[in-house]
Amino acid sequence: MQVAILCGGRGTRIQGEVANVPKPMVPIGGFPIVWHIMKTYSHFGHREFIPCLGYRSWDFKEYFMNYRAKMADVTVRLGDNTIQTHAHEAEDEKDWVVHLAETGLEALTGARVQRIKKYITDDVFMLTYGDGLADIDINKLVEFHKSHGKIATLTAVRPPSRFGDLDIVDGQITAFKEKLEVGQGAINGGYFVLNREVFDYLDDREDLTFEQEPLRNLAADGQLMAFQHEGFWLPMDTFREWNMLEKMWASGQAPWKVW
């Protein structure tokens, strides 16, 4: 199944040594956080990716175009200027297909999703953010989505109160309220599964935010369901959270490392 990843933002709240790096390219244990997300999906057999690019899109292109050389030992024969790589990439990574899609420097999330429609060849696809890690069982998420017959499923989690609440009744989201200041309920953790009909709720407006009008309309139409995830989930929004994730990886106790 195809996996779209929102990678266009600037990540202005992360400072220190990772400042000015596109947030999905900020390294955790030497690998960009987007790589960790891709490894999670790949572990469950989903290996066609569509990063939705914007800010410093060349950073992503350079990384993936040179991925084999980055992962391998390299022999350079100076006399005839030839290069030989001795690959060390994992077996699952050999099957990765990565469509590096330019979706606009200033576009918001709804516009970015609309602009990768041409790459979506399946009736059902997945979407997530390029900065959130979880130990989610992707296959159970997909099974849940296919079981209810609605257009959209998001993963509901229970993290800090700085995020917005979801009203959930019998698994169906009856109201979507993004980023309120105070909240005690479940919130949008990303990791969406979407039917192609979701594009009926999108358009190409530069300022269209997926988490506002489209998700609210899906909820109002009874087409938005919640997959409850009680395990680990953490977005990397601040330098403090980046540092937490780095320490988890370095300790060998990274909960999201399911592969």
Q: How many domains does the chain have?
A: 1
Q: Is 94 part of any domain? A: yes
Q: What is the pLDDT of residue 20?
A: 75
Confidence (pLDDT) at 13: 60
Helix/strand/coil for 129: strand
> Distance of CA 44 to CAs 52, 69, 193, Å?
21, 25, 14
Q: What is the pLDDT of residue 104?
A: 96
Q: With H, G, I as helix, E, B as strand and everything else as coil, classify residue 204.
A: coil
Residue 222 is encoded by which pair of tokens? 């009874």
Q: Which tokens belong to 13?
A: 């709240």
For residue 224, the one-letter residue type is L
Contact of 109 with 194, CB cutoff 8 Å = no
Token digits for 186?
Answer: 């479940």
Cα angle 181-184-185, degrees, rounded to a multiple of 5: 110
Residue 45 lies in a domain: yes
Task: Supply the pLDDT for residue 82.
Answer: 84
Q: Are 153 and 198 in contact (CB under 8 A)?
A: no
Report yes or no on 212 lying in a domain.
yes
Cα separation, 210 vs 109, whole angstroms: 5
Residue whose tokens read 């540092």: 243
Structure tokens at 103: 């979706």
221: which residues sit within 8 A by CB, 6+ positions away?
Answer: none
Whether the CB-CB separation of 232 and 137 falls below 8 Å is answered with no
The boundaries of the domain holding residue 138 are 2-250
Q: Which two tokens stand for residue 107?
A: 């576009």
Q: How many Å apart are CA 249 and CA 60, to the nearest integer?
A: 22
Provide the CB-side half-sphere exposure for 103 (13 A, CA).
32
Q: How far is CA 208 from the centre of its chain?
A: 18
Residue 255 belongs to some domain of the structure: no
The model carries a pTM of 0.86
* pLDDT of res. 89: 66
Q: What pLDDT does 257 receive? A: 97
Q: Is residue 259 part of a domain?
A: no
CATH number for the domain harbouring residue 160 = 3.90.550.10
The answer to whether residue 256 is domain-embedded is no
**pLDDT for the residue numbered 175:** 64
- Tens of pLDDT, residue by residue, the chain (259 residues): 999 999 998 765 666 556 678 999 999 999 999 999 999 999 999 999 999 999 999 999 999 999 988 887 888 899 888 888 776 667 788 899 999 999 999 999 999 999 999 999 999 999 999 999 999 999 999 999 999 999 999 999 986 544 445 555 566 766 665 543 334 578 999 999 999 999 999 999 999 999 999 999 999 999 999 999 999 999 998 888 999 999 999 999 999 999 9
- Asked whether residue 153 is domain-assigned, the answer is yes
| Residue 135 near residue 231 (C-beta atoms within 8 A) | yes
In a domain, 159, yes or no: yes
What gap in Å lies between CA 190 and CA 153, rounded to an integer? 9
